[in-house]
Amino acid sequence: MRDVIFMAWRYLRFYRGKTAVLVASISLILFLPAGLHVLVEQGAEVLTARAETTPLLIGAKGSAVDLTLSALYFRPPHVESMRHREVTRVDRSGLAHGIPMHLRFTAGRQRIVGTTIDYAEFRGLTVDRGRWLAMLGECMLGSEAARALGVDLDDHVLSSAGSAFDVAGSFPLKMPVVGVLAPTGTSDDEIVLVDIKTAWVIAGLAHGHEDVNSAGKDDGRVLQREGRNVVANASVLSYTEITVENMDSFHFHGNPDGFPIDAVLAVPASFKASVLLRGRYEEGDVPVQMIVPSVVVNELLETMFSVRDWVVLGGLAVGVASAMTAALVFALSIRVRRREIETIQKIGGARKRLVTILGAEITFVIVMAVVIAGVLTAVVSRFGELAARLVGA
Amino acid sequence: MIAVRDLTFGYPQGGFELRLRELKVTRGEGVALVGPSGCGKTTLLHLLAGILRPVSGSVLIDDVEVSALRLEDRQDYRALSMGLVFQEFELLEYLDVLDNVLLPYRISPALGLDEAAKQRAVELVEQVGLADKKNSYPRRLSQGERQRVAVCRSLVTRPRVLFGDEPTANLDADNRDQVMGTLFRYAAEKQAPLIVVTHDPELRERFPTVLDIRELTP
């Protein structure tokens, strides 16, 4: 057997280019359906696990899939915003507790999630280093977000401007990082967590600036003064960072109940409460929709599985065709080597030994291809969940 | 000793037939098989070596009736007892010089590759002046060098009979002399019959026995 392996290996090594092409082709034939299957299964697991831990979701009417993807996996929200009073309505129903989510802004490529401390409790988030949010303008980072942004505790994160050309829009807010969340293996690792009020500050619904109340008549910044109302010009310095020194100057314009949010996580007190609450949202003319994320995700997965099945089927068909081509290549290779085979037989080579050598060559190629396909599938299996989360995020 | 009696051979598709009443080659005897192209020299050589099997008649090498052996046994016998050199050298491109010389050991279960065989291969390669090319691949060798490697391959198993099918047809005079010198020396030392098919008149002169195949066939 040693001689058979020697001959087969020498042949494959000498014609390494041809061998590499064959191995790569067979590897891909094996890997594509297997890798796709693993990736889709893992993606499905990630999606399902997240959806199943989120009982009810409220958002503006529109695509349930978009609402689910933005509220659970922090994809850019394509649905309309709704008013914060929806949280109050849920809480007042006594059937569930509402957790607001503001999802409009990003820091770099990481989504800023404006919410309340209840969100962290609901998702079971824990602090890896630092502390929880305590003051307006602070932020915490998911473990992957910290890595992606290249910042850590005591650094600062700048919210991204809505548009570089929107000169009248809100200024980016510089937020100190007060804590980094422990990894959870979910989309929460990718977020910049802020208080809902901080999100409204970024949105320009609250702001802080130099004190103009005490400014004298001759102060050039004051345009008009009527009782307690002071109209100042644009030279008044607006703060882009909330500090202990300037925090008192921050104030909201309007009633927070009318401020925008993108979703409400509704945590029902019981199954019965969940059913009752859903009934209320399905009845009557309500401007919002209530969805069950697991139902939405399962519908989405059914489509995904169907597409996967077709792709795998197509891959298998290509695989069969490629396997036949590979068999043809082997057959032609034997024909090309007819002279070599005749020489071996003339000098006393046994037919059985020849067949074994050729078989060993094919086996080597297939084993190498299987190993490579296995390694690739293992890599996909190892990092597929991360990939699925990245795609989801 | 090689003894052929009442040999007949024809290809299944017809068109060619070889008949040979008798041929004897004694130990250590050098025989040049000559004749015009297509008269059956190579066919006879293949029948003697057991590559082809006669329709009737017998080929005896020493006391073994080669023509009566099964295919596998003929292959084993060839690997163990015969050395063959061909016109086209027929080296394997993916093996280096030493591994080409040791090829019979790799492809025949009848031979066991051991250190002695490896040592013998090295010595043969050195004897034919290829010591510095023992790890080279055939594509790096000249025609003469390639044929010298083929000769080493035919001798490494210490065969009892040597066959050559136009072994010097593609060589210049120097290489021809070197190749044939190696074969003649071995045949003389081991008292091995040496049968060579050739068209080369100069080479023919070096053989004590020259057989024109037309004279052997009725």
Q: At what angle do helices A85-93 and A271-282 cross, to 10 degrees?
A: 130
Q: How far is CA B17 from CA A278, A350, B9, B13, in A?
A: 98, 28, 6, 11
Are B108 and A339 within 8 A, CB to CB? Answer: no
Q: Are strands A56-60 and A263-268 parallel, antiparallel or unpaired?
A: antiparallel
Q: CA-to-CA distance for A162 and A159, rounded, in angstroms?
A: 9
Are B86 and A3 within 8 A, CB to CB? Answer: no
Closest-CA residue of chain B to A2? B106
Domain edge (last residue) among A233, A259, A293? A293
pLDDT digits (tens, 9 = 90+) for A216-238: 667 777 777 777 677 777 677 77
Residue count of chain B: 218
Mean pLDDT, residues A267-276: 90
Verdict on whether the full-model pTM lies above 0.80: no
Q: CA-to-CA distance for B80 and A164, rounded, in angstroms?
A: 87
Domain edge (last residue) among A262, A293, A324? A293
Residue A363, min C-alpha distance to chain B (Å): 18
- How many other CB atoms sit within 10 Å of the CB of residue A148? 17
Q: Tell whether A283 and A215 lie within a shared domain.
A: yes
Q: CA-to-CA distance for B111 and B104, rounded, in angstroms?
A: 7
A14 → closest Cβ in B75, B94, B107: B94
Residue A107's φ and ψ, nearest 5 degrees, are: -125, 110
Q: Tell whether A109 and A150 lie within a shared domain.
A: yes
- Confidence band (pLDDT; 50, 70, 90) for A360? very high
| ipTM at complex level | 0.86
Nearest in space to A352 (alpha carbons), one of B129, B89, B109, B83: B109
B72 → closest Cβ in A344, A350, A357: A350
pLDDT digits (tens, 9 = 90+) for A133-164: 998 889 999 999 999 999 999 899 998 865 55
Mean pLDDT, residues A73-92: 88
Structural contact between residues A301 and A44, judged by C-beta atoms closer than 8 angstroms: yes
Are B106 and A354 within 8 A, CB to CB? Answer: no
Are A347 and B72 within 8 A, CB to CB? Answer: no
Q: Residues of A with CB below 8 A from B84's CB?
A: 346-347
Q: Are strands A156-158 and A206-207 parallel, antiparallel or unpaired?
A: unpaired
Nearest in space to A250 (alpha carbons), one of A105, A137, A116: A137
Q: Tell whether A78 and A213 lie within a shared domain.
A: yes
Q: What is the pLDDT of residue A161?
A: 67
Q: Tell whether A68 and A87 lie within a shared domain.
A: yes
Q: What is the pLDDT of residue A51?
A: 87
Q: Tell whether A220 and A315 lie within a shared domain.
A: no
The dihedral through the CA atoms of A89, A93, A99, A103 has a sign that is: negative
Q: Is the pLDDT of residue A168 over 70?
A: no
Residue B99, min C-alpha distance to chain A (Å): 10
Nearest in space to A368 (alpha carbons), one of A27, A2, A21, A13: A27
Are B84 and A11 within 8 A, CB to CB? Answer: no
% pLDDT > 90, chain A:
36
- Confidence band (pLDDT; 50, 70, 90) for A393? very low
DSSP-derived letter for residue A76 is P
pLDDT digits (tens, 9 = 90+) for B49-92: 888 888 888 898 888 888 888 888 898 888 888 999 887 768 89
Structural contact between residues B112 and B140, judged by C-beta atoms closer than 8 angstroms: no
Q: Tell whether A63 and A43 lie within a shared domain.
A: no
Mean pLDDT, residues B134-152: 89
User: Kind and range of the H or E element at B165?
Assistant: strand B161-165
The dihedral through the CA atoms of A351, A356, A357, A363 has a sign that is: positive
pLDDT digits (tens, 9 = 90+) for A288-338: 899 999 898 888 888 877 877 787 788 778 878 877 887 888 888 888 888
Closest-CA residue of chain B to A10? B94
- Confidence band (pLDDT; 50, 70, 90) for A252? confident
% pLDDT > 70, chain A:
92
Q: How far is CA A130 from CA A29, A182, A243, B134, in A?
A: 49, 11, 18, 70
Q: CA-to-CA distance for A241 and A212, rounded, in angstroms?
A: 19
Q: Is the pLDDT of residue A213 over 80?
A: no
| Three-state secondary-structure class, residue B71 | helix
Q: Tell whether A238 and A338 lie within a shared domain.
A: no
With DSSP H G I counted as helix, E B as strand and the rest as coil, what are the percentages for chain A, rounded to 5? Answer: 55, 20, 30
Q: Tell whether A195 and A248 lie within a shared domain.
A: yes
Q: Tell whether A86 and A226 lie within a shared domain.
A: yes
pLDDT digits (tens, 9 = 90+) for B90-107: 889 999 999 999 999 998
Q: Which two tokens stand for residue B187?
A: 């045949």
Task: Tally the domains of chain A.
Answer: 2
Q: What is the pLDDT of residue A164?
A: 54
Least confident of A182-196, A325-339, A378-392: A378-392
> Which residue do the tokens 């006879």 mark?
B44
pLDDT digits (tens, 9 = 90+) for A199-208: 998 888 877 7
Q: Tell whether A99 and A179 lie within a shared domain.
A: yes
Are A3 and B107 within 8 A, CB to CB? Answer: yes
Domain edge (last residue) among A276, A293, A310? A293
Its domain, for residue A267, covers 55-293
Residue A28's φ and ψ, nearest 5 degrees, are: -65, -40
B106 → closest Cβ in A3, A14, A351: A3
Q: Tell whether A307 and A368 lie within a shared domain.
A: yes
Q: Tell whether A289 and A304 lie within a shared domain.
A: no
Q: What is the pLDDT of residue A337?
A: 85
Closest-CA residue of chain B to A9? B94
Q: What is the pLDDT of residue B218?
A: 66
B75 → closest Cβ in A3, A343, A350: A350
- Confidence band (pLDDT; 50, 70, 90) for A170? low
